[in-house]
Structure 1
């Protein structure tokens, strides 16, 4: 299973990239929704890490998309 990080910060993405984790930079709710759609459609995605600021920006979208799903695991990071 793959891990993916979603953040507004290029520094966060660079840090995770050094650890071998692919990431996506999102700036608005539309980008977040598009990113989640792609990740949730990929059965290999096991963990999605979302920065706290992105979570706060799109918590309604995230709740709607993750409702009744067991995988992938969604973890917020600071």
Structure 2
């Protein structure tokens, strides 16, 4: 199985290529959804990496796939600008998901 990246900038793609991960740079929601669905149908892709901006474009579709499918593993990564979420976004996510405070 291979890893694949859908990024919104060339710098992130170049960095991942240095690690042996192929991918593509896209900006429009329609083309991102098309590539995302193509990746889901490719049984060779085991890990699908999405930059934060790409994830934000198609977050609803990504979450539906995460809930229904085991493969590929879909991972949201920061881009060249670093993490754009709040430092405690994981805690907030857990609080919203299960309704308890940590």
TM-score, structure 1 as length reference = 0.90
Aligned twin of 1:56: 56
Structure 1 runs of 4+ aligned residues shifted over 4 Å read none
Please state which structure has a larger fraction of its residues in strand.
1
- State the SS of the aligned residue for 1:20: coil
Establish whether residue 73 from structure 1 lines up as the match of residue 54 from structure 2. Answer: no
Q: CA deviation at 1:63?
A: 2.6
- Structure 2 counterparts to residues 1-78 of structure 1, below 5 A: 1-78=1-78
Q: CA deviation at 1:67?
A: 4.0
Structure 2: give runs of 5+ residues left out of the alignment: 79-102
Aligned residue pairs total 78
User: Which structure's CA Rg is the greater one?
Assistant: 2
Structure possessing the higher relative contact order (Cα contacts under 8 Å, 6 or more residues apart): 1
| Of 58-67 and 37-46, the range deviating more from structure 2 | 58-67
Q: CA deviation at 1:70?
A: 0.4
Call closer, same or farther: CA 1:40–1:49 in 2, change over 3 Å: same
